Amino acid sequence: MEASTETNNKFSEEEQVVTPWEVAGNGGKIDYDKLIDRFGCQRIDQSLVQRVEKLTSQPAHVFLRRNVFFAHRDFAEILDAYEKGENFYLYTGRGPSSEALHLGHLIPFMFTKYLQEAFKVPLVIQLTDDEKFLWKNLTIEESRRLARENAKDIIACGFDVSKTFIFSDFDYVGGAFYRNMVQIGKRVTYNQVVGIFGFIGEDHIGKVSFPPVQAAPSFPSSFPHLFEGKGNLRCLIPCAIDQDPYFRMTRDVAPKIGYNKPALIESSFFPALQGETGKMSASDPNSAIYVTDSAKDIKNKVNRYAFSGGQDSIEKHRQLGANLEVDIPIKYLSFFLEDDAELEHIKKEYGAGRMLTGEVKQRLIQVLTEIVERHRTARANVTEKI
């Protein structure tokens, strides 16, 4: 039930490490089944997906159908409540550590946009510029600037502006939000955060103080201007599974301070171009497709760096076919090629060796270029209105 880190030595070196600050699989690949067991969350199965489709009267998002969002906590309870006519709200966020976002960063926001549209619910988006200031070598001003830049990319995902509140901690924390932080802090011991996050005595107390900041948006009273008088609204948090430790803590605290436990819907990690060894790294620009990449950049990166499961020679490839399990173009198409039939066709042809790596990469370049172009246009239309 606890996240491991290198610092608290709870897990041996062979174990995979997944925390909000570190993601490293055992020998490269993350074992998501093990993660679900250790974290104690539930797998999203086909019947849950079908229930979402029924309740929202539309096909489930690609990320849900294809199990990009693969785990949850109490998502079924959210659907039960929704079915009874109860409202809920969505909460997601980002730690603004880099200027430009890559496609992996967009995944929770693309999915959250779908959830907001499908369920017609309000959404709060937290930019944890304080977290990045605390964990990285950044000034406060630089952290805030990154938050503002990232906010534009997030807004460009096309949320319903009348139902969406985006804020940075350095600007918004205070009042009712601060009171919830203090409520939460009073219910979590230092020993508990050591167990959950692996803090050590040499860590500064800024880090120790942070978990309640990420927890607070899970409670509607942190946003009186949005939710006052709307009762004890439930909260659903779409996020990558590395954020689970924060919300396990939050869920422990919630009933003690009179709130519903927030529900979670959690994604796996978007793989690096070089292969599936965890999350993409912002420190290696060639490991990811950025929303600022030009069509030429995308073409270059996919052709040069996207790890291929195809065979060394055309002859061998025609004979053996591609190994789809490790093939990054196929992985990326599984995220972003919406047409199920076309995806199935490509996987079949490529797996059988009838399609070559170059052809698959070609299609991927088209798909990614289209997404990035669309994003660029949308971002250009975002005004300084935060």
**For binding to a second copy (CB under 8 A), which residues are involved?**
130, 133-134, 140, 169-175, 177-179, 181-194, 199-209, 211-212
Q: Shortest distance, CB of residue 203 to a second copy, whole angstroms?
A: 6
Q: Which is nearer to a second copy, 199 or 336 (CB)?
A: 199
3-state secondary structure 81-141: HHHCCCCEEEEEEECCCCCCCEHHHHHHHHHHHHHHHHHCCCEEEEECHHHHHHHCCCCHH
Q: Which is nearer to a second copy, 58 or 232 (CB)?
A: 232
Cα angle 264-266-270, degrees, rounded to a multiple of 5: 160
Q: Shortest distance, CB of residue 95 to a second copy, whole angstroms?
A: 14
- Strand partners of residue 24: 17
Q: Shortest distance, CB of residue 262 to a second copy, whole angstroms?
A: 19
**59-78 burial, b if ≥16 CB within 10 A, otherwise e?**
ebbbbbbbbbbbbbbbbebb
CA 368 to chain centre: 19
CA-wise closest residue to 245 among 11, 7, 22 = 22
What does the alpha-carbon distance between residue 80 and residue 193 come to, in Å, rounded to a whole number?
32
Q: Which is nearer to a second copy, 181 or 324 (CB)?
A: 181
Query: Token match 């927030």: residue?
Result: 262
What does the alpha-carbon distance between residue 40 and residue 144 come to, in Å, rounded to a whole number?
35
Helix (H/G/I), strand (E/B), else coil: 5:
coil
Q: Which is nearer to a second copy, 199 or 335 (CB)?
A: 199
Q: Shortest distance, CB of residue 211 to a second copy, whole angstroms?
A: 7
The H or E element spanning position 54 is helix 46-56
CB 304 within 8 A of CB 279: no
The CA–CA distances, whole Å, from 145 to 15, 93, 165, 252 equal 37, 16, 18, 34
Q: At what angle do helices 103-119 and 328-336 cross, to 10 degrees?
A: 30
Q: Which is nearer to a second copy, 138 or 382 (CB)?
A: 138
Q: Which is nearer to a second copy, 49 or 193 (CB)?
A: 193
Q: Shortest distance, CB of residue 147 to a second copy, whole angstroms?
A: 12
Q: Shortest distance, CB of residue 185 to a second copy, whole angstroms?
A: 3
The H or E element spanning position 168 is strand 164-168
CB 286 within 8 A of CB 277: no
CA 256 to chain centre: 28
Tokens of 210: 């942070």
Q: Shortest distance, CB of residue 39 to a second copy, whole angstroms?
A: 21
Q: Shortest distance, CB of residue 192 to a second copy, whole angstroms?
A: 8
Q: Which is nearer to a second copy, 125 or 184 (CB)?
A: 184
Q: Which is nearer to a second copy, 134 or 273 (CB)?
A: 134
Q: Which is nearer to a second copy, 170 or 307 (CB)?
A: 170
Q: Which is nearer to a second copy, 140 or 161 (CB)?
A: 140
Q: Shortest distance, CB of residue 191 to a second copy, whole angstroms?
A: 4
Q: Shortest distance, CB of residue 326 to a second copy, whole angstroms?
A: 41
Tokens of 346: 């490509």
**Residues in Cβ contact with 126 at an 8 Å cutoff, skipping those fewer than 6 apart:** 91, 92, 93, 94, 167, 168, 169, 214, 217
